[in-house]
Amino acid sequence: MSAAAAGTVRVRPVTRDDASLLHALVRELAEYENLLDRFECPEAELERELFGTGLLDAAIAECSVDGPNGGEWTVAGFALWYYTYSTFRGRRGVYLEDLFVRPAFRGRGCGSALLSRVSERAKETGCHRVDWSVLSWNESAKAFYRSLGAAPVAEWEWWRLSMDTSS
């Protein structure tokens, strides 16, 4: 059975042992988004931010696939987020920095499971919303998010003041 065949999805928190795996998944995302030339995050820096500062949180999605030993779990994707604050609401929120499912596992519920986990963590920590951005050309991502009931925030534009010239 191929990796794209039907199976079960599970989502688990990222652990320190996953640092290399998460770094490789972020690199895969950069490649998928045609932004590999901008990928410069050292693995040690990602690990430090995840496990040394408490600023980031992440989860790994795994899919069950048939293997030589029966059902085996294969890494299918990840979500990485951090906390924000709304002065108008007086409450925290979550900013979903990245949600990525490897192409072979799309359509199997991995993205929905990851976004559900992010939403659960947001609720558990008293957050009132989950925000994210989508590349303008990524119509499949937009369709996926709309299918979950999400919508673009039309009255706001995303702006940036970069502290270096590489962003």
The span from the CA of 62 to the CA of 114, in Å, is 10
Could you confirm whether 145 is annotated as catalytic? yes
Residue 82 phi, psi dihedral angles, 5° rounding: -145, 170
The span from the CA of 12 to the CA of 118, in Å, is 11
The span from the CA of 101 to the CA of 144, in Å, is 12
In contact, 40 and 76? CB cutoff 8 Å:
no
Q: How far, in whole angstroms, is CA 151 from its chain's centroid? A: 18
In contact, 64 and 8? CB cutoff 8 Å:
yes
Of these residues, 32, 83, 95, 145, which one is catalytic? Answer: 145
Exposure of 31 by Cβ count < 10 A (0-12 exposed, 13-18 middle, 19+ buried)?
Answer: exposed
Which amino acids are annotated catalytic? 145
